[in-house]
Amino acid sequence: MNILAFVEQRDGKLKKTGYEVVRAARAVADELKGEVMALVVGDAVRDIAGELGAFGAQRVLVVEDPRLAQYSTTAYSKIVAEIAAREEAGVVFLSATAMGKDCAPRIAVRLDAGLAADCTALKVEGGEIIATRPVYAGKALTEVKVTSSVKVFSLRPNVFTAGTGNGSSASVETAKVELSHEDFAAKVVEVTQSKGKLDVAEADIIVTGGRGLKGPENFNIIEELAGVLGGAVGASRAVVDAGWRPHDEQVGQTGKTVSPSLYIAVAVSGAIQHLAGMSSSKYIVAINKDKDAPIFQVADYGIVGDAFEIVPALTSEVKKLLGK
Amino acid sequence: MKIIVCVSHVPDSAAKINISRDGKSIDKTSVTFVISPYDEFAIEESLRLKEKNGGEVTAVSVGGENHKETLRKALAMGVDKAVLLKDDSQRDSIAVARAIADYTKEASPDLIFFGKQSIDTDNAAVGSMVAEMLGLPSVSVVVKLEIKDGRVMAEREIEGGHEKVEARLPCVIAAQKGLNEPRYPSLKGIMGAKNKPIEERVPTSSPLRVQLLVMRKPPAKNAGKIVGTDVSAVPNLVKLLHEEAKVI
């Protein structure tokens, strides 16, 4: 069974999650004895698409159109679904990013396919793909099988390993899909990126501050630690609800579910809805002055003490280690 | 302006989740069910648009009798009508979307609101699916919305930033936290909601395309070690992160 892997690009650069999707597709296709086709959609993206061969794509397809420079939910969904049908891909992989989460459901409807969204693991058993997907923000895990003839899977960012390319390249084919005015009934007219801001959903290291920091003005110690670690700043729900930090930093059941390599929770008590969103992190560090705080129940390493003393000390110790 | 707002009935985010004996569902005993939090932003936005432009807001939910609690909450907040597409069977996202799309086709609203996801199955799929089924534009994860001269200007959250999206009406909008501050139902609203009828309909059926094989608790995380009790523990922590965990 052949797999079509949709690879997201922004500003003419392939996203890291795109490599993850191609690599995951390769692993599954090997077991299903199928081919991996990577698809890149945008304006003038041909030159960046070739390297996907090094991550396991046998074929790389590009659909180029100046109108596709920015995302359009209808146009992008139509392109992925039409290419999947035309190339007889039985499986479509996407990344469960803002873009992938938006278009995967549309693609599933167009292909009359079941969608397994935001998968965190995949395996093949008896020729069938079995996907693990967390529910209730990770308080429970499910294993699901898509039973329709075409199947769509979106993969949680940062969980599947992209690795490095093997040096091989694939030839890039241009594909055409007819697009009408109606296919742009919703279109992105402007993108604003917070400069240099790493999103918690994409970060490999997250430093989260909680209510114990007493006020928004004290988040500088969190920002500094995240800065030296090359990580993102996260926030607990209490902190976001109090208006100290923006919602896009919220980790937990009504924020983002994250699985970084290192999660440092500072002055976060560890409410159930917060733990649900971060306990699948590889390593968890808790810093809290209350030794009975629930966060210590999930932490690999803990320091009981005053965050205002410990965090700056930690920042300078890390600086020393990294020679910064 | 005719608005439909779709709501779901889910375990409270503070609820502990345990797996029932069948190994495929949650144990519902002693779990409090509430309206999915993101749906409150969707309701609030619907009500504000109605207050500004006039019209009617209808809340719709797909599920069993217990979903009426959530529909009553929507009525108490101020929606005009509530419709339960009553079905106790298990539905995947497409099957839920099919039920809503078929109901909505008949009602032909200007806007269909959703929360960006239900906090139970976390698929974040039904809104976009309904839009596709009805051939409508959609914007998901919306934190800012303006409707002017039949056009939608919405801002949606993406990784590390925002996208401004322009769309035509009718349109599907999936609300994210930050779009507004949902109102609390007034006492009058709550009392009034008790007597308002909730229309029941039998939704169209749709085959399951995603089969749940097993549900389990994630592997329990063992509490790790307390490295120390004050700032003197910091060098040791950094050493452990560097040498044992190898994450820095």
The ipTM value here is 0.96
Residue that has been written with the tokens 């503070």 in this structure: B14
pLDDT digits (tens, 9 = 90+) for A222-280: 999 999 999 999 999 999 999 999 999 999 999 999 999 999 999 999 999 999 999 99
Chain B stretch 204-223, residues whose beta carbon is closer than 8 A to a beta carbon of chain A: 208-218, 221, 223
Instruction: List strands edge to edge, sheet with B81-86.
Output: A186-193, B161-168, B151-158, B138-148, B171-175, B111-115, B2-6, B56-63, B81-86, B198-201
pLDDT digits (tens, 9 = 90+) for B4-32: 999 999 999 999 999 999 999 999 999 99
- Asked if B241 has any chain A CB less than 8 Å from its own CB, the reply is yes
- Asked if B162 has any chain A CB less than 8 Å from its own CB, the reply is yes
pLDDT digits (tens, 9 = 90+) for A6-49: 999 998 899 999 999 999 999 999 999 999 999 999 999 999 99
Collapsed DSSP state (helix, strand, coil) of residue A82: helix
Quick one: closest CA in A to B39, which residue?
A254
Taking the C-alpha atoms of residue A104 and residue A86, their distance in angstroms, rounded to an integer, is 18
- Asked if B188 has any chain A CB less than 8 Å from its own CB, the reply is no
Fold agreement between A3-184 and A205-322: yes
Instruction: Indicate yes or no: CB of B221 within 8 angstroms of CB of A284.
Output: yes
Give the CATH number of domain A205-322. 3.40.50.1220
Q: Which CATH superfamily is domain A3-184 in?
A: HUPs (3.40.50.620)
> pLDDT band at A169, cuts 50/70/90?
confident
The CATH architecture that domain B2-201 belongs to is 3-Layer(aba) Sandwich (3.40)
Rounded to two decimals, the pTM is 0.95
Taking the C-alpha atoms of residue A123 and residue A130, their distance in angstroms, rounded to an integer, is 5
Quick one: closest CA in A to B174, which residue?
A102
pLDDT of residue A195 exceeding 80: no
Residues of A in contact with B129 (CB under 8 A): 105-106, 108-109
Listed by start position, the domains of chain B span 2-201
Question: Is residue A138 a contact partner of residue B163, using CB atoms and an 8 Å limit?
Answer: no
- Asked if B202 has any chain A CB less than 8 Å from its own CB, the reply is no
- Asked if B129 has any chain A CB less than 8 Å from its own CB, the reply is yes
Four-point Cα dihedral B208, B211, B215, B218, nearest 10: -110
Listed by start position, the domains of chain A span 3-184, 205-322
